Amino acid sequence: MTLSDFFTQNPRAAVAFSGGVDSAFLLWAARHYGCDVGAYYVKTPFQPAFELSDARRLTEELGIPLHVVEVDVLAVPEAAANGPERCYCCKHALFSALWAAVKEDGHTLLLDGTNASDDAGDRPGMKALRELEVRSPLRECGLTKAEVRRLSREAGLFTWDKPAYACLATRVPTGTPITAADLQRVERGENALFRLGFRNFRLRLLGDLARLQLPAAQFTRAVELHDTITAALGADFAGVLLDLNPRGEE
């Protein structure tokens, strides 16, 4: 099945739009193939502000109204506790809220951007998607991450080379309760690193310390900017550590 076939069979749908590469391409494809599509962004403390900015930019470029659904995910006890089932509990809560919003607008089909490169075995949240009957056209049509990026570039989408960006909750070690304050200092720290030119990295909490995971090619720059990085993150972290296990490019 192709995306053209999918949207011919499903001419009206709501897309859970995160602002990332996959859901951006899915949204473009829906519009391109004639689907009456609505874009729904779920806003939580787990998402950095730039994701909503990117979501607004793309939907404006595509001429698709963006519906923002706000969810206080920290009010979900299992999500805030950050246990091994956090991702499942969070995803279930968020997509339940999305379903309520899209149904109110008359939609009976909710889509997400999971692609064929995403392994169900390492994505606990996919269990929630199956339970809630959320469909993933990119996965159903066999489109891999590399193909989504290539097709996004051909379509002229600015998101085509956007780095993968997992939610801020993943920066907190499993078993450590998640607080709004910790999420905010992680976001401030990552924003500072973005401004310094770093890309495809993670800033993970280690108590009062920040542990930086960078691609190997950025190690030298991190050492050269040691004082600048320390000063930029000093207000939020007692120290900064560089993880010598390089982070793979995505």
Rounded CA-CA distance 89/105 in Å is 25
The pLDDT of residue 50 is 94
Instruction: Assess whether 148 and 196 both reside in one domain.
Output: no
Mean pLDDT along residues 110-124: 81
Instruction: Assess whether 52 and 98 both reside in one domain.
Output: yes
Predicted confidence band of residue 165 (pLDDT cuts 50, 70, 90): confident
Instruction: Assess whether 115 and 215 both reside in one domain.
Output: no
Helices (H) and strands (E) in the chain, counts: 11, 7
Mean pLDDT along residues 39-67: 96
C-beta of residue 85 within 8 angstroms of C-beta of residue 119? no
**Considering the domain boundaries, does residue 171 fall inside one?**
no
Q: For residue 99, give the CATH number of its domain.
A: 3.40.50.620
pLDDT digits (tens, 9 = 90+) for 169-227: 999 999 999 999 999 999 999 999 999 999 999 999 999 999 999 999 999 999 999 99
Instruction: Assess whether 16 and 85 both reside in one domain.
Output: yes
**Considering the domain boundaries, does residue 173 fall inside one?**
no
Please, which residues have CB within 8 angstroms of residue 207's CB and are 6 or more apart in sequence? 238
Instruction: Assess whether 25 and 92 both reside in one domain.
Output: yes
The pLDDT of residue 123 is 67
Mean pLDDT along residues 132-137: 96
The pLDDT of residue 174 is 95
Predicted confidence band of residue 125 (pLDDT cuts 50, 70, 90): confident
Instruction: Assess whether 84 and 207 both reside in one domain.
Output: no
Instruction: Assess whether 11 and 129 both reside in one domain.
Output: yes
Instruction: Assess whether 152 and 198 both reside in one domain.
Output: no
**Considering the domain boundaries, does residue 169 fall inside one?**
no
Instruction: Assess whether 131 and 215 both reside in one domain.
Output: no
Distances (CA, A) of 82 to 9, 127, 184: 39, 17, 16
C-beta of residue 103 within 8 angstroms of C-beta of residue 110? no
Instruction: Assess whether 25 and 147 both reside in one domain.
Output: yes
pLDDT digits (tens, 9 = 90+) for 229-245: 999 999 999 999 999 98
Residue where the block lists tokens 């310094």: 196
Predicted confidence band of residue 124 (pLDDT cuts 50, 70, 90): confident
Instruction: Assess whether 101 and 138 both reside in one domain.
Output: yes
- H or E segment to which residue 16 belongs: strand 12-16
Number of independent structural domains in the chain: 2
The pLDDT of residue 250 is 45
**Considering the domain boundaries, does residue 41 fall inside one?**
yes
What count of other Cβ atoms lies within 10 Å of the Cβ of residue 76? Answer: 17
Handedness of CA 243, 19, 102, 26 (dihedral sign): negative
**Considering the domain boundaries, does residue 42 fall inside one?**
yes
* 205-224: b (≥16 Cβ within 10 Å) or e: beeeebbbbbeeebeeebee
Q: Which of 134, 161, 188 is where one domain is finished?
A: 161
What percent of the chain clears pLDDT 70, i.e. is strictly above it?
97
Rounded CA-CA distance 170/152 in Å is 26
Rounded CA-CA distance 28/33 in Å is 9
Rounded CA-CA distance 192/171 in Å is 16
**Considering the domain boundaries, does residue 107 fall inside one?**
yes
**Considering the domain boundaries, does residue 170 fall inside one?**
no
Mean pLDDT along residues 5-10: 97
Range of the domain at 201: 179-242
43: left (phi over 0), alpha (psi -120 to 50) or beta: beta
Q: Which of 107, 132, 161 is where one domain is finished?
A: 161
Residue 101: name the closest of 65, 57, 76, 130 by CA. Answer: 65
Instruction: Assess whether 115 and 38 both reside in one domain.
Output: yes
The pLDDT of residue 118 is 79
Q: Which of 129, 161, 193 is where one domain is finished?
A: 161
**Considering the domain boundaries, does residue 205 fall inside one?**
yes
Residues across the chain: 250
Residue where the block lists tokens 């090619």: 217
Mean pLDDT along residues 38-42: 98
The pLDDT of residue 246 is 86
Query: Which of the pair, 69 or 126, is modelled with greater confidence?
Result: 69
